Amino acid sequence: MKKASSIYFSLFIILTGAFFVPGSMGCANMIPPTGGPRDSLPPVLITASPKDSATNFTGNRIILNFDEFVEVQNTFENVLYSPTPNNIPVINFRFRTVNIRIKDTLEPNTTYSINFGDAIKDINEGNILKNFTYVFSTGSTIDSNTVSGKVVMAETGKIDSTLLVVLHRNLDDSAVVKEKPRYVAKLDGLGNFQFRNLPEGTFALYAIPNEFSRRYDDTTKPFAFTDKPISTINNSPVTLFAYTLPKRDTSGATPKGPLINIGGRNEKDKDKDKDKLLRFQTNLDGGRQDLLDSLVLTFNRPIKTFDSSKIILVNKTLNPVNNYSIVADTNKTSFTVRHSWPANTDFNLIIDKTAFTDTAGVTLLRNDTLEFSTKRNEDYGSVKLTFRNIDFAKNPVLQIVSSEKIIESVPLTQRVWSRRLFPPGEYELRILYDSNKNGVWDPGKFFGTHVQPETVITLNKKLSVRANWDNDNDISL
């Protein structure tokens, strides 16, 4: 009996050990079997009631059945109805079915479409059925006319794919402000749009922000228009140039340097008195003055009185420097020291504490001496751009852009443009076609007189400038 028990015990140990991993300190993990490759296909429409592209539609409900469980998300942002309804249809989903309840009284002999955009996706994997569109007509035929084109931001030559393109039956300028559009289309990532299933007719075409009102009610937001109404018959693709009316720039100079003239106080005193002290910042870059820029002092409050005789620019040996000026901006918060800066030279700007006085009669805390040196020629690179096929009849202006800010704007009158000293960095190049020859981009005018904005193209080639290097580039537009 003992022998048999030993055999059974050994068998038990062997079988039990099969459920443990050597060296494991916990229970074995239960790993479910793999389910094969991930589903990457979007839902597929199986049936529709009424069927897609149905004619003589008289009901107010549409039922869409798909091959898998689906959900419909962000209908206000994603779904476009054409023509624009007075009351937004109600969309519900359950399992494989999407239900649409129409709340408007439908117009006779009219083709309707519902573009779901990115709203429909399967529940399990989130695969989106992109731009699924259901079409029906209350008449005997489906309208098949189209209008297509592209929207470009006139000032930059870039794309803003958040904009909407709209069609108005009413051709009066006031319609885009007072009325809902008849038809609406979205832009793709390249700025392209297309209206489908349009009736024969003539429409006013605009680009507007994608907002609830879908009206042009804010001139500081993008807007575009065509020079004349658009026919839906035998039309060619159209390009719209969107613009915004300029906003007043009150930012002034952008200071880079540390706060000056706090005095010998501890941090608690500084925080306590920070609203009482008159302070300024500079645009020095690590204590070095840019050879191509002016020295700027930016104050924390507007200055009422300024005595230029109490500010002296001297060299390293404290001898006064000639041929410099100090100019205040219109807001009296920034003061610019203009001088033809020599390279690799030390300077001191001596500032008497009473040189600046704010509106409350507060002056600087103490006299200051601002010590700085200018950059070397070797800190810059030379630039030469050769334009191979530029049209001078369009009055081209070269724009050199850094971080969306134009740092150089030069009317081009010949194929070669060069600079001996240019700050190192990566730059974007644009060409402005300056129709009125004033050297800057001008927006359009719509109400009262239709004037298109001046246009800008962004060049595919970037400008890369290396310090102490000859940076030559050939550019084809």
pLDDT at site 37 = 61
- CA 206/CA 226 separation, integer angstroms: 7
Least reliable range by pLDDT among 188-192, 262-266, 394-398, 462-466: 262-266
- What domains, with CATH codes, occur in the chain? 45-137 (2.60.40.1220), 145-242 (2.60.40.1120), 267-378 (2.60.40.3710), 381-475 (2.60.40)
> Order of strands across the sheet with 295-299?
280-282, 295-299, 334-339, 324-328
User: In which residue are the tokens 């008449």 written?
Assistant: 139
User: In which residue are the tokens 């359009």 written?
Assistant: 444
Q: Tell me the one-letter amino acid at 240.
A: L
User: In which residue are the tokens 């349009």 written?
Assistant: 198
pLDDT at site 30 = 39
Q: How confident is the model at residue 253 (pLDDT cuts 50, 70, 90)?
A: very low
Q: pLDDT tens digits, residue range 5-24?
A: 444 444 444 444 443 333 33
- CA 286/CA 303 separation, integer angstroms: 26
The residues that bridge with 363 in the sheet, in sequence order, are: 357
Q: Which of 60, 187, 61, 74 is nearest to 120 (CA)?
A: 74
User: In which residue are the tokens 């009482």 written?
Assistant: 276
Q: Are strands 334-339 and 295-299 parallel, antiparallel or unpaired?
A: antiparallel
pLDDT at site 402 = 95
Q: Which of 143, 129, 119 is nearest to 195 (CA)?
A: 143
Decide: helix, strand or coil at residue 2: helix
Tell me the average pLDDT across 413-434.
Answer: 96
Residue 42: how many other CB atoms lie within 10 Å: 19
The structure's pTM equals: 0.77
Query: Residue 177 pLDDT more than 50?
Result: yes
Q: How confident is the model at residue 448 (pLDDT cuts 50, 70, 90)?
A: confident
The Cα-based distances of 471 to 221, 241, 411, 431, 468 in angstroms read 38, 33, 20, 19, 9
Tell me the average pLDDT across 131-136.
Answer: 97
Query: Residue 256 pLDDT more than 80?
Result: no
Instruction: Write out the E strands in 106-178.
Output: 111-115, 120-122, 133-137, 145-153, 164-168
SS3 of 321-347: CCCEEEEECCCCCEEEEEECCCCCCEE
Query: Residue 246 pLDDT more than 50?
Result: yes
CB-based contacts of 333: which residues, under 8 Å, 6+ apart? Answer: 252, 298, 299, 301, 302, 303
Q: Is 399 in contact with 429 (CB distance < 8 Å)?
A: yes
pLDDT at site 40 = 82
The Cα-based distances of 216 to 93, 193, 244 in angstroms read 34, 19, 11
CB-based contacts of 156: which residues, under 8 Å, 6+ apart? Answer: 404, 430, 456, 458
Q: Is 380 in contact with 421 (CB distance < 8 Å)?
A: yes
By residue count, the chain amounts to 477
Q: pLDDT tens digits, residue range 64-82?
A: 999 999 999 999 999 999 9
The residues that bridge with 114 in the sheet, in sequence order, are: 81, 134
Q: Which of 309, 298, 299, 291 is nearest to 350 (CA)?
A: 309
CB-based contacts of 63: which residues, under 8 Å, 6+ apart? Answer: 48, 49, 97, 98, 99, 100
Q: Is 202 in contact with 171 (CB distance < 8 Å)?
A: yes
